[in-house]
Chains A and B, each alone.
Chain A
Amino acid sequence: MSESAARVLRADGLELWRGDRRLFTGVSFHLDDGELLHIVGPNGCGKTSLLRVLCGLTLPETGEVYWEGRKIRRARADFHASLCYLGHRESLKADLTAEENLHFQLGLRTWISEADVHGALERVGLTRQRTVPARSLSAGQKRRVSLAKALASGARLWVLDEPYTNLDVDGRALVDEMMGQHLEKGGLVLLVAHQSHGVHAGITRRLELG
């Protein structure tokens, strides 16, 4: 118990099937404060599915995920309060502005002020677009809104599924910088990305899938 409690996030023997196909089996790893795990593998090897299992969205066939020594199924609210998941969809309501979207999603998890939302949007370079409905933002700008959400969420664990998609050079550098600062503050990052990341802070490791 003392050993598992020392690990902030721990995956133990995860196995997942989709129909007749086994996506992965025996996936075990652990992640501590200030660590980044870069999950790589060919298309269709189940990287996104693994992230969904780790977040508790998908039930694995066998295996467990532990957060601070407790099964995430048993400590769902605590775990999700510490988690910010950016999927490959942007999860924005097209009819709400960037500001309204963030205010709602962050409001469910912390007490957030207008200034916090502004600050986060300014950091990702969307000060002028903050009152534009999300439907009129470009794909890259939407991605930046999601990044702002991670920044303002105060979550310890970031789960990022292909965060570089649709971003320009500046944007990709911003992602690296954000992740670096998050690790320095003692945060944890789970990253799925085809390209290699440019994070030089904290401890970074790789997990080959498939």
Chain B
Amino acid sequence: MEWPGLATAFWLQLVRDLRLAFRHIGQAANPLMFFVMVTTLFPLALSPAPEQLASIAPGVIWVSALLASLLAAESLFRQDVEDGTMEQLALSPQPLSILLLAKTTAHWLMTGLPLVIMAPIVGHALFLAPEAVPATMLALLLATPVLSLAGAVMAALTVGLRRGGGLLSLLILPIVMPVLIFGARATDLAVQGLDTAGVIYLLSAVLLLAVSLAPAGMAAAMRISLD
């Protein structure tokens, strides 16, 4: 038997998910709104003094990005499992890991990438030093896919469970803590005008590890959840 190759499968899945996301653009924008709103809470709760905000800006940006990705992970696979299309993916000749990786990629494009693009504006509002913005964006560009991938593995494990929401956060948070540490550090170093190359390499290593291991984890988790 012959069937289309991996690239075709990946592409078909990616296009389908993006098309679906664009038909419900409001839903896809929720994590971004959440990200922006959480960052606005800090000036309101602490003080609008520029120097105080500037000192907490790196932490605020990274914690908000992390929380936004948690929120986004919830909806990643739920609909597909509910309407039965996930079953069909699991029964196609294509490796489930590739299809889920494509889904996660589409999901990142809709929920992770906007955070990267929005970071300069949020940074500006928090009086983040302008010279730290490029490094923060680069670090977010490397870190948000890791957040999406880790979220996807855990979402696949918990999909279909009644207590899904809170449980999902409990599972994702400890796993992604290193990303938060490295990411916030990258911004911090850039604010101090120091070299960020080391942290960027660390983040790249984490991303490579996540890309190579997470798809297998997602597929295994999803097969367990569909059982």
User: Within the complex, are A and B direct neighbours (CB within 8 Å)?
Assistant: yes
Binding site for B on A (CB under 8 A): 55-59, 77-78, 80-83, 85, 87, 89-96, 100, 104-105, 107-111
- A–B pairs, 27, beta carbons within 8 Å: A55-B91, A57-B90, A57-B227, A77-B93, A78-B1, A80-B93, A81-B93, A82-B1, A83-B91, A85-B91, A89-B83, A89-B87, A90-B84, A91-B85, A92-B85, A93-B16, A94-B83, A95-B24, A96-B16, A100-B16, A105-B85, A105-B88, A107-B12, A108-B9, A108-B12, A108-B13, A110-B4
User: In the complex, given contacts A81-B3, A93-B20, A108-B94, what are 7 additional A-B residue pairs having Cβ atoms less than 8 angstroms apart?
Assistant: A56-B91, A77-B3, A91-B84, A94-B83, A96-B19, A107-B12, A109-B94
Cβ A58 vs Cβ B227 within 8 A = yes
Q: How far is the CA of A96 from the CA of B85 in the complex (A)?
A: 12
Q: How far is the CA of A85 from the CA of B223 in the complex (A)?
A: 16
Task: Look across to chain A and name the residue whose beta carbon is closest to the beta carbon of B86.
Answer: A91
Task: Look across to chain A and name the residue whose beta carbon is closest to the beta carbon of B95.
Answer: A77
Interface of A is mostly: loop
Task: Look across to chain B and name the residue whose beta carbon is closest to the beta carbon of A85.
Answer: B91
Cβ A87 vs Cβ B92 within 8 A = no
Residues of A within 8 A of B89 (CB): 108
Q: Which of B1-26 touch A at CB < 8 Å?
A: 1-4, 8-9, 12-13, 16, 19-20, 23-24
Cβ A104 vs Cβ B93 within 8 A = no
Q: How far is the CA of A59 from the CA of B93 in the complex (A)?
A: 18
Report the minimum CB–CB distance from B190 to chain A (whole Å). 41
Closest A-B pairs by Cβ, 10 of them: A89-B84, A81-B93, A91-B84, A108-B92, A81-B1, A77-B93, A80-B93, A95-B23, A91-B88, A104-B16
B2, B83, B91, B99: the one within 8 Å of A80 (CB): B91
Q: Is B33 an interface residue (CB 8 A)?
A: no
Q: Is B177 an interface residue (CB 8 A)?
A: no
Cβ A59 vs Cβ B16 within 8 A = no
Residues of A within 8 A of B91 (CB): 55-57, 80, 83, 85
Cβ B92 vs Cβ A80 within 8 A = yes
Q: How far is the CA of A100 from the CA of B85 in the complex (A)?
A: 13
Q: Which of B184-221 touch A at CB < 8 Å?
A: none
Q: How far is the CA of A107 from the CA of B88 in the complex (A)?
A: 12
Cβ B227 vs Cβ A91 within 8 A = no
Q: Is B226 an interface residue (CB 8 A)?
A: yes
Cβ B4 vs Cβ A111 within 8 A = yes
Cβ B3 vs Cβ A109 within 8 A = yes
Task: Look across to chain B and name the residue whose beta carbon is closest to the beta carbon of A111.
Answer: B4
Q: How far is the CA of A90 from the CA of B88 in the complex (A)?
A: 10
Report the minimum CB–CB distance from A132 to chain B (whole Å). 14
Cβ B93 vs Cβ A108 within 8 A = yes
Q: How far is the CA of A78 from the CA of B95 in the complex (A)?
A: 11
Report the minimum CB–CB distance from B106 to chain A (whole Å). 13
A56, A92, A110: the one within 8 Å of B83 (CB): A92
Q: How far is the CA of A77 from the CA of B219 in the complex (A)?
A: 14
Q: How far is the CA of A91 from the CA of B82 in the complex (A)?
A: 9
Q: How far is the CA of A105 from the CA of B19 in the complex (A)?
A: 15
Q: How far is the CA of A55 from the CA of B84 in the complex (A)?
A: 15
Q: How far is the CA of A18 from the CA of B30 in the complex (A)?
A: 38
Residues of A within 8 A of B8 (CB): 107
Q: How far is the CA of A90 from the CA of B90 in the complex (A)?
A: 15
Q: How far is the CA of A83 from the CA of B97 in the complex (A)?
A: 19
Residues of B within 8 A of A95 (CB): 20, 23-24
Per-position 1/0 for B56-97, Cβ under 8 A of A: 000000000000000000000000000111011111111100
Residues of B within 8 A of A81 (CB): 1-3, 93
Residues of B within 8 A of A107 (CB): 4, 8, 12
Residues of B within 8 A of A77 (CB): 3, 93-95
B19, B84, B93: the one within 8 Å of A78 (CB): B93
Q: How far is the CA of A112 from the CA of B95 in the complex (A)?
A: 19
Residues of B within 8 A of A105 (CB): 85, 88, 92
Q: How far is the CA of A66 from the CA of B88 in the complex (A)?
A: 20
Cβ A104 vs Cβ B12 within 8 A = yes
